[in-house]
Amino acid sequence: MSIKKRVCVMCFFLLFSFSSCALRQTETGKQASDPVGTNQNSDSFIMRYDVYQQGATSDKPDEFSVAMASNPINTKMENDLLARDISNAHEAQIFFDKYLERWKNELSHSLKNLKKYCSKKDSDSLDMAQTDWENSIRTSNAFDREFIAGKEFDLGTQYVSSALLYTIDQYRTRAFHVKYMTYLAENHVMNIVPQQEQVWNKFHEID
């Protein structure tokens, strides 16, 4: 594997590991932090939504975190990243643009699912919140581009990869948050949706 590709792979796994969702690393010889009891080693990570505890019960300790950690988009992206050569800026742009689009589609899909449980007022508020969020992403990205252009930095492939991975992480985290709101709606103690009808853990087809 080339040095540039190793850097891209490392960027991906670092951003995946240190996303806004809290992560815990289990270490060999220590008790695994995974409440579900899956086998883990010192190189494995699992997303832990410690800030979201209202959906956890003794018999379903952290099913949301487990479902998000094994999501099909990241699984496919990891496999594709290891199999493809993205050592130049053009190939990196194409590769990560594709997965950014997939996470944008997943976020849109997740918002539609959440709206099934929204009143008209809630739906309007959600639309406003989403518009504000998207505007903040665009504003932030525009500043980055202008700042780099103004300073005439020549950052090359590594910057293209890391910048796109950062944006991917933002959309992924937003999608997970929306899915968690859906999870709460479907598991509310006064109105539990039958498990076979729940959609919080359903991911949009990516192929």
Segment 167-190, tens digit of pLDDT: 999 999 999 999 999 998 998 767
Mean pLDDT value across residues 118-147: 93
Mean pLDDT value across residues 92-117: 94
139 half-sphere exposure, CB direction, 13 A CA radius: 6
Q: What pLDDT band is residue 59 in, cutting at 50, 70 and 90?
A: low
Query: What is residue 69's predicted lDDT score, i.e. its pLDDT?
Result: 84
Query: What is residue 206's predicted lDDT score, i.e. its pLDDT?
Result: 64
Token readout for 10 is: 């490392």
pTM: 0.73
Helix (H, G, I), strand (E, B) or coil at 195: helix
State yes or no: pLDDT of 35 exceeds 50: no
